[in-house]
Amino acid sequence: MEKQIRDKAKELLSSQAVDCVIGYGRATDGVTSRPLFVYEPEKADELIFDKTCTHNLTKYLLNRKGKKTGIVVKGCDSRAINVLLNEEQIKREEVSIIGVVCEGIVEVSWNQVSEILQTRCRYCHQHAPLVYDFLAGEPIKELLPTGEEHPAVTEIEAKSLEEREAFWSEHFDRCCRCYACRQVCPGCYCTECFVDSLDPLWVGIRIAPAENQIWHSIRAFHLAGRCAGCNECERVCPMNIPLRLLNRKLANTVEELFNFQAGLNAEEMQPLGTFIKEENVGIG
Amino acid sequence: MTQIISKSDLITWLNKLAESHVLIGPVNDNAGVTLFRKVSQAEEIAFDFTNTTLSPKEWFFPPTETLFTVERKDGQVELVPAEDVEAKVIFGMRPCDARGIALLDKPFLNEPADTLYQQHRDKTALIGLSCREVLPECFCTSMGTAPDDSSNMDILLTEVADGYIIQVVTEKGAALLAECPEGLLKQSEVTPPALSSAATVPIEGITEIMAENFDNVYWERLADRCLHCNLCAYVCPTCYCFDVRDYNDKGKVERVRTWESCQSSGFTRIAGGYDRRAGKAPHLRQRFYHKLFYFPAEFGSVACVGCGRCVKACPVNVDIREVIMDVHNLGGQSGQQ
């Protein structure tokens, strides 16, 4: 599969179909991966793909508007491509998608590669990308066993209001507002984020429990029906805040109310971005 | 002969200190994060930690603190500066982090000194703990310190088979040791075990090469990958950018200082919208120029202690050790790459 990715990248760069291919390269620890920007065909051999390639690279497309770009995209990441296409943040003709078939990514951190599949991969239905120009790898015939419900979400739902408040407070109190969750998220591209606005000051600059709570709550709502579930926010959090639970809960709710999952196609408008008079979801 | 103390006696001594000081030490929380936190008793301390998620700089330069309040009272305007009144002991300071504090002293205590930072420093004693393990991301020996470096500590402890070797470094440290209950300190011939050496980073001459490469396309390429979050700056023991904001609550004004970083969008943006570091590459370049060029030019040493936190925490593997090596390879041929 690596050879297919490299050959395609070389072809795209040599023919000047794109001026950059965004893929994965080896990290400095020698065992994990990192995003790699390839500008010259001869550097394409540095591209890799293995079970450590956890990053959702689609975020970088937002920095390359108006420039022809090739990008390596897994099944999960392809949903973010659809979200960005739907929201007119990227143009289909500017992006050459090298789709990869993915059997799952393992838990990775600096200098450590485990044998354990990431939680999101254990529930994955999307081993091949939904949108691509070229596909690397053989389609997987037999899907890995998946569950419909996310057990950790069900666990939290079973708690009382007070218990849930205590659970989230404990996590949010630790937040240092480094905004790594926002910066890595393809769905977070506001020209000015509400927490960065100083005039008016929507949220105070204090790195403190009340402000942290507002930050995470509003961000989660902004991503309801838009989060494609790549889980990058949780991966990058230095404070190990289980953001997946929040995003997953909201994704479940949106699916229940609107029968909609983010990023399955580029055409269908996301429910919270549209107003349909006839829609009656019992919330007002 | 050296003085040693057994682990259980160390706990007794720390608990004695906790009677007259706020005791702070590395604590593991449920989510797998280790942070320097106040403890009510020494038993809560994670003695077997490697390094903490955030550096202990947060006890000298907190993520958020009130600098002063202004209140109108009886027709008068009264300004009340914040004051640190708590005597504190930080246990478990690693040599790299202690050097981090020594480097923070340079900007904060340079005249005119930051009075609140000065108070935090004066009120806090540092009981250091030598490292038992050199981690893959560590490169402290290239950055002017070492796993058993006692400088910048008040006391340094080094773990050995039957306890901890005690090195008193300052008078403040001697005063702490004087509070140790009688009979707990033993004499011993024991010597600490040797450690494997930390990664070597070619720091020699970096400032001169940085001077030649401000406009090198290298920074653009590096910034391709950077997410421009504040993570590296917030885990860093030597980063000290901050933001300040006044809060007005029913006539009482509070001036608050919080952590900030050169990666945030508002960094260096001034009234009228002009930003002399506008764009992604200038932001990332600022991080490395501050550490490897501006800070050494101003204060005489690079603003990095080799703790490896940013190396480990960066979501996209922007690795300062690699950057330093890359810059050496750029040499003096600015913009030629």
From the CA of A29, how many Å to the nearest CA of chain B? 8
Nearest to B229 among A32, A36, A179 (CB): A179
Where do the domains of chain A lie? 2-136, 151-272
pLDDT > 90 fraction of chain B, expressed in percent and rounded: 83
| B300: region left, alpha or beta (phi > 0 left; psi from -120 to 50 alpha) | left
- Round to whole Å and give the CA distance between A227 and A205: 26
CB contact under 8 A, B234 and A55: no
Nearest to A37 among B224, B229, B258 (CB): B224
From the CA of B86, how many Å to the nearest CA of chain A? 21
From the CA of A102, how many Å to the nearest CA of chain B? 20
Task: Note whether A37 contacts B: Cβ–Cβ < 8 A.
Answer: yes
Q: Within 13 Å and on the Cβ side, how many CA atoms surround A273?
A: 15
| DSSP three-state, residue B282 | helix
From the CA of A226, how many Å to the nearest CA of chain B? 20
Where do the domains of chain B lie? 2-188, 206-330
Enter the ipTM.
Answer: 0.93
Residues 174-233 of A with CB under 8 A from B: 174, 176-180, 182-184, 192, 196, 198, 201, 204-208, 232
pLDDT in tens, B296-326: 999 999 999 999 999 999 999 999 999 999 9
What confidence score (pLDDT) does residue B30 get?
80
pLDDT in tens, B219-266: 999 999 999 999 999 999 999 999 999 998 888 999 999 999 999 888
Low-confidence ranges of chain A (pLDDT < 70): 141-149, 280-284
* Phi, psi (degrees; rounded to nearest 5) at B217: -65, -15
CB contact under 8 A, B259 and A176: yes
Number of H helices, E strands in chain A: 9, 7
CB contact under 8 A, A176 and B224: no
Which chain B residues are closer than 8 Å to A32 by Cβ?
317
Which chain A residues are closer than 8 Å to B50 by Cβ?
none
Question: Which of A19, A28, A38, A43 should one mutate to test binding to chain B, selecting the residue with the greatest count of B CBs within 10 A?
Answer: A28
What confidence score (pLDDT) does residue B45 get?
97
Task: Note whether B279 contacts A: Cβ–Cβ < 8 A.
Answer: no
Task: Note whether A26 contacts B: Cβ–Cβ < 8 A.
Answer: no
> Measured in Å, how far apart are chain B's first and last C-alpha atoms?
57
Report the candidate in B314, B139, B292, B307 with the shortest Cα–Cα distance to residue B232. B314
Low-confidence ranges of chain B (pLDDT < 70): 333-337
